[in-house]
Chain A
């Protein structure tokens, strides 16, 4: 807004012959709306801030002037020498079979994974402090992340940004499946945006509508990326993403008819003035003739995302004619057909067994490709109180044993470290692969139980990372004009795309003691001691003496008169 700030294309000269450095940061925002075949609608917001600077370079002047990039995150990055940071808060579970693949996957609860710079000497100390600082920034209880739920994956979670540091000593991963997401997490998230929630696409984010949905996920991804095509220098990219799926029964009144106003109870009035691009994409690939979209737009764009070429209608909010006469932009979608997206990779997980002593974890991975086999990397992080028996681990595909080509297992240490199991499994085409492992439940110490132990204890989602063969050739060029939703994961080869699928988190009951028992035991013991000891003591020390009852009044009077007379008394 400030007119004194330098702009890139300033044609007039500057005052006093000074030359201002061109603005080194830019901000883009976009919203993708994809109708799902079940009648629900999927909206994905992405806000990207690019900044050409280096937090981690030594010898340079420390960064002190923040314009679009939020200062709270910039200071965190430089203080803890963070190379990459990914944090997500999710409420609900992404139903792959019904909704297809999301643009940015995330597990239920909170997930945080960080790559530290290779100059860091004490990674664990930095990790602990970083989680505390982030818990203050995002108003979440991330301070519960400690050594008992942090793992160091050896092959999963390679950096999504630039860098050649692939020493997994600098990677830390943790999830908190119990973490809830509510307005108090959305408020600081919105404050990180350059325009806040006052202008641009962020005005649509009203918590009463966003949390009344089947799936809600907000995330922050920070990584270094190429500045340009030649890729000779780095730029920092901050992506804030918000994915939400609205259920057409609870918020749509059962009709396959959606509008921006119905989804968010707001319409768009202007683009964010600080944004260099502000666009709304609507996925109109399937059944275009059965699809009604208003206001109509001639702008169409094709993008290859998740292995499929899809067509989008584009609305550019930086152009005034998008808003029409009423100066407000409301999208109306009405469709009658079904567009069934069959996902190629899908995973499920559940606990089998009965009782409170033993159980079995089953992870089922489906490969729906008709003729291609591809490898997947399964990562499981199980808390220490479910003691896994790894000798009972079996991997079967099509009822035959399937030996993984790479297994990394780190056993748990009680109250210290969770189990980590990583396996590279080749999935045969059109098959179901089942991974089973038995476990025994531990009895926790009295103070380690949560205030509501009968709810159960959560086990974080498994992560399945895969390179899925793509039906359409993916583009490997890096261009600045690519829409944000197709440029999140860097593409190395054209024939496959990288996807990450999260399974459900598990809820297991641990044997829970009755916490009222100490009081009952004290009462019972004291009663028994009193009655038992008391009787025994009486038995040993009590002596009986004969005691004559006092005579009635007439006899007493008679005895009194006899005593006076000196005559012997009555009995």
Chain B
């Protein structure tokens, strides 16, 4: 009796376990396809100029490095750096930007492509990149060519205040402008989901005004608080990173392309004990639960791979027809190089008449016509006073 009961109990337990495992498996698989995006883009902006704002460039480059490492290619990253720190004459180690003191980690690296640099980083260019309204001759690497199934990561850093972010010490972008730009992007179906991270003083004020759906925002400090920098390096002479991005970089270094870390872990990065300021986040506009959103949905890149074992036959190559004609009949003249400094030719060069002057007779004829019309209208008797 007890043996049967035990067996039944065991069977029930095993079946329960199997059902549970099956459910977990389907949720995992379901999770893989539930995010709904097919490509990833990143727009990383550093808005500060001058050598003492080295840390903002280091912030942006560390996010660039993580994003590249997790799979987003350079063609899908728009990197905007307002000033050049790596090859700045004050940099004691040229072509490097460090994020840790004692020069442990060079976030600049050997393979970096900056799309907007120096004076090109302006509010207008930033908004044009977001909304896609760029002049037709803009090259592809400077455009955000996202569609309605793109997940976009936007990272801004610099000096900011309550409701604005300063660009290059000469202009600002307000939180209302940013919210409107995102609304334009939503209306034009330029994103599927958007993650907005900002590391400035009073950063939370920048996401207060968002009103478009599918936006998630993170900031390094609340309104009324300052974001602080992490540590200076005595050899370089400036602060290397901001606290929030430093701990964000440490967190992202643990993430690999197959990692299952989700947004709730990201919200816990840099609590007040480490950051001194209180990081904030906003998820009310986001439709999915943040716990089900993977970090790699925004920081990594989706690659849907289909493995096949079929063989494919390639066609034989098409060779272009040999165009060199026989040199028998046609007399080909030999070409020559141009003289680099033909002194005699230059001295006798006539200057070109570029501006078109009307011929002199034309002016005379015009005035004659005007005079004739005048006298015709007002009477011929005035004519004798002229002639």
Contacts and interface: CB of A to CB of B under 8 A. Distances in A.
Interface of A: 4, 18-21, 60-61, 65, 91, 128-129, 132-133, 135-137, 139-141, 143-144, 154-155, 158-164, 166, 178, 180-184, 187-188, 206-208, 210-212, 226, 230-234, 375, 377, 405-406, 408, 424, 450-452, 465-467, 489-490, 492, 498, 515
Given A21-B319, A183-B110, A158 B332 contact: no
A188 B113 contact: yes
A290 B94 CA distance: 34
Interface in B109-127: 109-120
B187 interface: no
B110 A206 contact: yes
Contacts of B137: 128-129, 132-133
Interface stretch (B65-73, B148-156, B270-278, B320-328): B320-328
Contacts of B346: 155, 377, 406, 424
A427 B336 CA distance: 29
Given A141-B120, A452-B50, A184 B323 contact: no
A129 B138 CA distance: 8
Contact of B335 (A20, A136, A162, A451): A162
In the A-B complex, the 10 residue pairs with the smallest Cβ-Cβ separation, listed nearest first, are A136-B139, A182-B87, A490-B337, A211-B95, A132-B137, A451-B168, A211-B94, A451-B170, A207-B95, A184-B114
A503 B132 CA distance: 41
A18 B112 CA distance: 45
Contact of A158 (B116, B118, B339): B339
Contacts of B347: 405-406, 424
Contacts of B120: 141, 143-144
A188 B317 CA distance: 30
B338 A158 contact: yes
18 contacts: A20-B319, A132-B135, A132-B138, A133-B139, A135-B139, A141-B120, A158-B338, A158-B339, A162-B337, A166-B338, A211-B94, A211-B95, A230-B334, A232-B334, A377-B341, A450-B119, A490-B337, A498-B340
A184 B338 contact: no
* Chain A contact residues: helix, strand, loop or mixed: loop
A137 B138 CA distance: 11
B59 to A, nearest CB: 17
A210 B96 CA distance: 12
Contact of A154 (B93, B111, B349): B349
B302 interface: no
B250 interface: no
Contacts, number: 159
Interface in B83-135: 84, 86-87, 93-96, 108-120, 135
Contacts of A452: 49-50, 169
Contacts of B138: 132, 136
A232 B93 contact: no
A144 B121 CA distance: 13
Contacts of B93: 208, 212
B351 to A, nearest CB: 7
A490 B135 CA distance: 40
Contacts of B113: 139, 184, 187-188
B341 A183 contact: no
Nearest to A125: B137
B332 A232 contact: yes
A514 to B, nearest CB: 13
Given A132-B137, A136-B139, A183-B112, A208 B94 contact: yes
A267 to B, nearest CB: 17
Contacts of A141: 116-120
B343 interface: yes
Contacts of B135: 132
Contacts of A136: 115, 138-142
A164 B115 CA distance: 38
B76 to A, nearest CB: 15
A206 B109 CA distance: 10
